[in-house]
Copies of this chain bind each other. A is one copy, B any other.
């Protein structure tokens, strides 16, 4: 019997949170800077990316404990990106997950440095973990830095801002989201498969699954900005429209966006079928990401 999404989400949150907090706590960092790092770490995301990495590794028969250093590093990179994206010069957000954003709670300089530090130390964590061989460390660092750097997430955030107040094509929008959110989600699955030591062919299929999941995640994000419940999503509904952002509902209509999402769900399910993971928690997660209300 498959577990419920709540059980799946909760199952890993404690492990991830504990490993994350333990790593940050043992660092020697100026008190208020450390506090601001912990503030954003503790802001309580769903830990979706670490979970995807763990479920992928587990589903493909890998050793689950191997996942934690890479999963925590990935979550640190994700957290840094949220802190920087929220800055006044970027998306200028006051709230994130219903709490004040880092620069509102502390100040801009502290938020910039907290982000810089989380990013830098994510690589330090991997390079110094006892859990991986040097070969594994290099592979994980390569995947993470590629997904999040100038050719990945950073480029996506740049293009996303450049596209404000402009009408962009669906292809361009897809490219932006692929870079901005897709690459990091996809890297979670790629690293999970790598650590499970599966064939190149299976890894490629799982990479495709990751790409689908990233898009599904973003389309649902855009839909929630139109149809969502402000209380649940923790930010103002309609903020994309107010910021003149191109969105899937904006370009395809709300029904068109939902149809596109449904097609991607079929492709994601095919990938799971091909790798024998169709009855695992990953299938439940896919459905959840597609239908989530927050």
Contacts and interface: CB of A to CB of B under 8 A. Distances in A.
Interface of A: 27-30, 32-34, 37, 84, 87, 89-90, 107-110, 112-113, 115-121, 123-124, 127-128, 134-135, 137-138, 141-142, 145-146, 148-151, 154-155, 157-159, 161-162
Contact of A33 (B37, B137, B150): B150
Contacts of A90: 109, 112
A159 B30 CA distance: 7
A155 to B, nearest CB: 5
A181 B72 CA distance: 28
A142 B128 contact: yes
How many subunits of this chain does the assembly comprise? 2
Contact of A134 (B34, B115, B138): B138
Contact of A138 (B112, B138, B157): B138
B149 A124 contact: yes
A275 to B, nearest CB: 27
B138 A124 contact: no
A163 to B, nearest CB: 11
Contacts of A151: 27-29, 121
A112 B84 contact: yes
B30 A120 contact: no
A15 B127 CA distance: 28
B112 A127 contact: no
A127 B142 CA distance: 6
A162 B119 contact: no
Contacts of A117: 149-150, 154-155
A79 to B, nearest CB: 13
Nearest to A139: B127
Interface centre among A33, A87, A112, A135 (most CB of B within 10 A): A112
A27 B124 contact: no
A127 B141 contact: yes
A69 B160 CA distance: 31
Given A89-B107, A120-B150, A137-B138, 9 more contacts: A32-B162, A33-B155, A84-B113, A90-B112, A110-B158, A113-B154, A118-B150, A127-B145, A138-B138
Contact of A121 (B33, B116, B135, B149): B149
Contacts of A116: 84, 115-116, 119, 154
Contacts of A145: 120-121, 123-124, 127
5 contacts: A30-B162, A117-B149, A117-B150, A119-B120, A121-B150
A107 to B, nearest CB: 7
B142 A124 contact: yes
A128 B144 CA distance: 12
A249 B134 CA distance: 46
